[in-house]
């Protein structure tokens, strides 16, 4: 089921609030925080808290298994890359009073900053792709199951995760199978053996896993895993390969957070470059 215009507007606004909240929690030294040029009133902050109250209550180990079964058959909507980008753009609404940049323009702001710094072409493409998993919102998924900081399920929730108090309502918190440091996992088992909370990161990783280098796939899969790449809260689950790959996650994160600005990239001029770039890595039709 696809969302109507009002529901799409609500989903877009909540995604923006989450991104603002992340930027306020992790401002880049020497740069303006997003709060300085995007103003939200106090109820907006309350909305973010309510988002995380639901996210932390319902993101259980069993919920993640259900969503993987539901979506990872990748049989929802076969699309070309540009069709997927334009489909995601329907999350934007002209009535948005704050900013009129659509999803294409955010993706281009990210990828163009990466390109300007001379990074490899797969890195540039990863920047352009990284948020495409948010099409989950357009399949009728609640926002708390699409965006937000991600974290492992199946083991004790770290107090380094934003709003950790809301995990008190999560049934896994009192389940002896899941509420220990390792839970269902083994020490340094590697993140590929760990189930993350469900959302656009994990979904897009599975969409793209056959097409991009491992470095790019780590950027996509873990770019919202702030409890690790900002707090190192889950070193006990990571193996040596994870630590090597997270150097690339760390390189990517500033481009995602700090390139957001109300300046329009010229989509028509840039589209041929990105279509040619995508053709080097992706099939003509991608299964979503």
* Domain carrying residue 229: 5-279
Predicted confidence at residue 4, as pLDDT, reads 61
Mean pLDDT of 58-85: 96
Report whether pLDDT(122) > 90: yes
Single pTM value for the model: 0.85
Identify any residues that bridge with 196 across adjacent strands, giving them in sequence order. Answer: 152
Does any domain span residue 187?
yes
Predicted confidence at residue 44, as pLDDT, reads 45
Report whether pLDDT(26) > 80: no
Does any domain span residue 159?
yes
Does any domain span residue 9?
yes
Does any domain span residue 60?
yes
CA atoms of 112 and 115, how far apart (whole Å): 5
Report whether pLDDT(219) > 60: yes
Does any domain span residue 288?
no
Binned at pLDDT 50, 70 and 90, residue 89 comes out as confident
Predicted confidence at residue 154, as pLDDT, reads 98
Does any domain span residue 287?
no
Q: How many domains does the chain have?
A: 1
3-class secondary-structure state, position 248? helix
Per-residue pLDDT tens over the stretch 231-280: 999 999 999 999 999 999 999 999 987 666 667 889 999 999 999 999 99
Predicted confidence at residue 80, as pLDDT, reads 94
Predicted confidence at residue 17, as pLDDT, reads 67
Binned at pLDDT 50, 70 and 90, residue 21 comes out as confident
Predicted confidence at residue 31, as pLDDT, reads 54
Average pLDDT of the residues of the chain? 87
Does any domain span residue 284?
no
Does any domain span residue 47?
yes
């Amino acid at each position: 089921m696809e969302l109507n215009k009002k529901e799409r507007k609500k989903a877009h606004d909540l995604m923006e609030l989450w991104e603002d909240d992340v930027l306020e929690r992790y401002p880049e030294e020497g740069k303006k925080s997003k709060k300085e040029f995007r103003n939200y009133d106090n109820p907006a902050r309350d909305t973010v808290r309510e988002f995380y109250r639901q996210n932390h209550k319902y993101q259980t180990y069993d919920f993640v298994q259900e969503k993987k079964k539901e979506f990872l058959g990748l049989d929802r909507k076969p699309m070309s890359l540009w069709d997927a980008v334009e489909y995601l753009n329907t999350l934007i609404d002209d009535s948005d009073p704050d900013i009129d940049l659509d999803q294409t323009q955010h993706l281009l702001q990210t990828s163009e900053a990466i390109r300007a710094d001379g990074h490899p072409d797969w890195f540039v493409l990863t920047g352009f792709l990284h948020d495409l998993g948010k099409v989950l919102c357009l399949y009728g998924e609640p926002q708390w199951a699409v965006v937000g900081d991600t974290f492992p399920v199946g083991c004790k929730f770290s107090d380094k995760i934003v709003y950790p108090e809301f995990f008190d309502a999560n049934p896994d918190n009192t389940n002896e199978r899941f509420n220990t440091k390792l839970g269902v996992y083994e020490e340094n088992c590697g993140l590929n053996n760990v189930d993350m909370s469900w959302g656009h990161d994990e979904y897009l990783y599975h969409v793209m896993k056959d097409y991009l280098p491992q470095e790019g796939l780590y950027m996509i899969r873990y770019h919202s895993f702030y409890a690790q790449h900002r707090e190192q809260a889950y070193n006990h689950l990571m193996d040596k390969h994870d630590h090597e790959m997270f150097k690339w996650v760390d390189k990517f994160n500033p481009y995602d957070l700090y390139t957001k600005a109300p300046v329009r990239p010229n989509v028509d001029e840039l589209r041929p470059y990105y279509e040619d770039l995508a053709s080097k890595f992706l099939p003509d039709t991608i299964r979503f």
